[in-house]
Amino acid sequence: MTETQGPLDTLPEQNYPPLITHNNYWGTKQLINQVVSEDQEYVSWKLKDVRTGGTMNAYLNGFHNNHSAGTQDGARSFDFSSCSQHSKSNSGKIKKTARINSVPKNLRFPREIHDEQLARLPHSKSLDQSEQLNLLLTNLDEDQMNRFEVFRRTSLAKNNIKKISSIVTNQTVAANINLLLAGVGKIFVGEIVEKAQEVKKRNLVALMASVFREKKLAAHKLKKTLKKLTMLVDNSGASLDDSADENETDEYEDENDEKLMKQTDNYNEIVRSGVNSEDNRIGLIKHYNRLVKSFNALDVSVEKYANSPILPEHIREAWRLYRTENDTVPQSTWRTQGEGNGWMFR
């Protein structure tokens, strides 16, 4: 095989019979399955990280390790057998117990154990605001420090803030009020940008899942095409009994691409004919090489886009989500109903 461009290699259109054997088919199929399996693990990890936020994974792993080690940290295990509707007494008779409609007292949650462990740790003296800021800055990594410096140095244009406040209030606003509005606006812009980052991350994960589906489809086509080609070239009589159907036709990948549709029609015609001719073999090799290049070019990794800029559609979606999340809060006129103390909606 020649022209190494990734995990798979293309086939030459001349002097190809020595390279197309049953052993080569099984080896190539195993390699394809291995690549798809690794991509499946990566995609599953990224989807789980997006759904859970990636914040509780390390904590839950530590909890499971501590919980399985025993009760040396004060954690007690809960016997779920006591939750059954019937239990046996000391005399061996079955005694009916009441249904549980509340949380048992001896049930421990991971968060409670975590809080107890934190409470047992020695605490230092209380720090003032400047000491807390210094402690925070000394524990930031390079990336976090860069973002912190950018946020500290960034500010909204004072002229625009003064203009907007004058238009909204229809009067001249004091300078200190404009300064306050600039600070609040800066925090608001930071929230929108942070939400836009989340939108970008989810879009990249959706793109990753789409690329993985295309890669699985390409892997399926590769296996059946190579199997068909191996059966036409290698007549050693060895069995190729597996799940790949070499007589299955392909569907159009893109109905707007006439060249791609023509190549798919040629492949389907070869598969349906079943004629073992040199032209059909060359046609299968061309189709296989095109699938190999497509398979090698499909990359599910999204880390390379981590530092990509935020696009306008990300900002628009973040603003839409921000309005949707805040529109569900009851207005103050409704929150003060009843006795006028606001307890109705708390």
CA pair distance 332, 341, nearest whole angstrom? 11
- d(C-alpha 81, C-alpha 101), whole Å: 16
* Average pLDDT over every residue of 298-318: 90
Helices (H), the chain: 22-52, 57-69, 110-120, 129-138, 142-153, 158-169, 175-233, 258-273, 278-297, 312-327, 332-335
Confidence of residue 305 (pLDDT cuts 50, 70, 90): confident
- Comparing 103 with 319, the larger pLDDT belongs to 319
Q: Tell me the per-residue pLDDT of 70-119, one tens digit each, with 9 for 90 and over.
A: 444 444 444 444 444 444 555 555 555 555 567 677 778 788 888 888 88
* pLDDT for the residue numbered 258: 81
Residue ranges per structural domain of the chain:
21-58+158-236+243-328
pTM here is 0.65
Is a pLDDT exceeding 60 seen at residue 57? no
Confidence band (pLDDT; 50, 70, 90) for 316?
very high
| 182-190 contacts, C-beta under 8 A, 24 or more apart | 182/155, 182/156, 182/158, 185/156, 185/161, 186/154, 186/155, 186/156, 189/156, 190/151
- Reported as a single tens digit per residue, the pLDDT across 12-44 is 888 888 888 888 888 999 999 999 999 999 999
Question: If pLDDT is split at 50, 70 and 90, which confidence band does 313 have?
Answer: very high
